[in-house]
Amino acid sequence: MHFKCLLFTVLLMFSLVCKGEDIFVPIDEPTGEETDSMNQASPVSPANLTSLTNVTTPAKVPSVLSPRDSLRKDSVVLPTTLSSMLKQYSRNKYGSTLVQEDDTLVVLKPRPLLAVAENFGLNALVLGWDYYIQNRDYARISKNVLEHNFHTGLVWDNDSFSGNQFSHPFHGSMFYNTARENGLTFWQSIPFPVAGSLSWEFFCETNEPAVNDVLSTGIGGVLLGEVCHRVSDLILDETAWGVERMVREVFGNLINPVRGVKRLVRGQWWRRSTSRGKEEPDVPVDIRLGTGCRYLSSKSHFRDGMNEPYVYFDMTYNDRFDNSGHDPFDWFRIKMLFNFSSKQSTMGDFDIRGRLANILLHSKNEFWKFDLGLYQLFKYVETYPTGGDSGTHAGALSTQREFNQNVSDFPIISEAVSVGGGAYSEYDYKHLRLNNDLIVAGVILGGQRSDYYPCRSYNFSHGFSVRNDFETTLYNRLTIGDDFYYARFFTFGKYNPEELRFRLDNGKRVSTPGDTGQSSIVVNRLYVITEFIKGVNLKFEGVLHFRHSNYRDYPSVSGRSYELNIGLVCKL
């Protein structure tokens, strides 16, 4: 419980330091005369740049119920014309720097060799910690271990759901940022988490190399790495001082530890500057923070459900229709739900969708807008009956007997590696706003609950998923929405029940994605948000989870659970 109180504090402080007015200062496009002055100025100086910009205060954003409302084009601060001029201004020992009195964009000089050294150095550091400080058995590497790893090749491991589907992608994000924080682009940084994961699996542990770890760390780490890179950039501000500076440095560097270490070595943690030291252009950010109570119940024992307090965090990065650039992850959205009860896993729901590329379309009447995009996705859902043990299948079965709940009814879902295309449409006219977000994705590595496999509470799977989020807002006071999710997952197991039992009884290695079969998963979330008091909204939500699994060697299983949620949501 103490950890979850700390987690809530972290979310609150993160939200406060990322408020819109602290993040961006709108800058108008230069007029014709100002453009002529820019062209004549040689060389460009900070004074010239300051005189050419017309800095205004951020316009007040109404308490809109939809996060997409407050992200408008006029909030973007760095016009393309001014940005291109600034990129030619100055250079320091850390790379090219764009200097302005109130704002700075740092363009790091590419250092691929240093990135490679830090990538493998990260593994060496972790291995040294595990061996000398933690005295872990898996860190006792020898020549025989290396020969065994290469002889065995890649296997499927039986680690916990959270370890495989959440911790490994976050570890991959650090590999990714060894490249990103050394000046490499998004696309240039992709090989680094893959190389870091492979080197760890084969050289840095006695456990046999796992194919699922390489996929989740190497590819899932790209998504989390870019998100961590951009979110930490929002938080860090070298013009801040005192308590605010300390809070920004702590949380910004926790989100992106690689950047934190590099800033510590350079002395940037405590050095105050006249510029903020940003690596990414400022964009509008919409943050929603909420808290409330969830009532969770299975289909057959609705009255025997459980009340679980939660904290909800929703962040939208940039305006979806900002057309100033088409960089990967120039738009993304994060949704997280943290359980405040020790009876559930801390991370209950975690969803990220990041845009890799897009095409913007506008209708003639300007009321309709369309965005066709390519996305990388991440999804993590973990729910158990009260008192369940998220790490073992046996713990979940004991919960079923003790609390009269069917463990198969409660969802475990993951998309650690998922890429797909989508279409977003928005209609905004007078007091009515409609938007619909459709994404169809191929799931390279996913997972869902296992009903029979004795070594894990989940099966590794491949397949596809469909997301469709619809929302309508009236008079900026009432929002009604429906988030629909469908997944079709396939698991290709290696063993029949007799062979699996033989291997377990004789201590032989068990390497399989799970029980052979296919599953259909549906999650439908209907919600209503209305203004409660100024700046605070009241949210009612009903959620249906449904799963039907057909197995090759076992009877089919269906599960259904419900959520009834009520909470308060404030826009920061």
Longest dimension (CA), the chain: 83
Q: How confident is the model at residue 52 (pLDDT cuts 50, 70, 90)?
A: very low
Rounded to whole angstroms, how far apart are CA atoms 374 and 376? Answer: 7
pTM of the model: 0.80
Q: Which residues contact 566 (CB under 8 A, 6 or more apart)?
A: 292, 293, 538, 539, 540, 541
Residue 290: its pLDDT value, please? Answer: 95
Highest mean pLDDT among 61-70, 78-87, 263-272: 263-272
Long-range contacts, 263-271 (Cβ 8 Å, 24+)? 263/236, 266/94, 268/238, 270/245, 271/238
Q: What is the CATH number of domain 285-571?
A: 2.40.230
Token pair in block for residue 137: 């058995």
pLDDT tens column, 448-470: 999 999 999 999 999 999 999 99
pLDDT tens column, 506-534: 999 999 999 999 999 999 999 999 988 88
- Give me the sheet containing 95-99, strands edge to edge: 90-92, 95-99, 104-108
Residue 364: its pLDDT value, please? Answer: 67
Segment (H or E) for 112: helix 112-128
Residue 302: its pLDDT value, please? Answer: 67
3-state secondary structure 390-402: CCCHHHHHHHHHH
User: Which residue intervals of 185-274 are DSSP H helices?
Assistant: 186-189, 191-203, 211-218, 220-235, 242-255, 257-266
Choice among 19-28, 255-264, 398-407 with the minimum mean pLDDT:
19-28
Rounded to whole angstroms, how far apart are CA atoms 461 and 449? Answer: 10
Q: With a cut of 50, say whether residue 67 has pLDDT above it.
A: no
Residue 365: its pLDDT value, please? Answer: 73
Q: With a cut of 90, say whether residue 18 has pLDDT above it.
A: no
Residue 61: its pLDDT value, please? Answer: 37
Average pLDDT of the chain, as a whole number: 81
> Would you list the domain boundaries of the chain?
1-60+77-102, 110-282, 285-571
pLDDT tens column, 69-92: 434 333 333 333 333 323 333 333
Mean pLDDT over 246-266 rounds to 92
